Amino acid sequence: MIKTDVSNLTQLGADATNPTNPDEAVLERVTNSQKDADYLVRFTVPEFTSVCPLTGQPDFAHLMIDYVPGDWLVESKSLKLYLGSFRNHGAFHEDCTIGIAKRLVKEITPRWLRIGGYWYPRGGIPIDVFWQTGAPPQELWLPEQGVPSYRGRG
């Protein structure tokens, strides 16, 4: 049996409230017990929200986060709370999307990470933001993100 040390986790299994901003959010990690294998972890976030830094109006996105773990996995409850901390955070689409990816890279040092931010229209224009750390591992099974381009009524 493989055991992962979770004694350092403060949010999993405990009452936790959403942090008020991303800088205060704590991203926790657990040991990757399968670090000898290149495999993909995918987080699908269909209801991500933030606010426009100029108007304060809400912005909505469908985020797809794919990564190949190294020594660490991101603990999913802490990720949920971190992403929820953007709810009242004012930032442009690009800043939210790239900031999330860079924070994950900093905290868990994955072998590879990509993010797709599929933002719903603001001012009639959808803005999609994509970023990755480099080329994925050569033998990795990498499914498409499967989020269609915005079509509106057309």
**Annotated active-site positions, please?**
52, 59
Q: Is 111 exposed, middle or buried (0-12, 13-18, 19+ CB in 10 A)?
A: middle
Q: How far apart are CA 93 and CA 60, in angstroms?
A: 9
Alpha-helical runs (H) found in the chain: 76-84, 93-108
User: 């590879």: which residue's tokens?
Assistant: 112
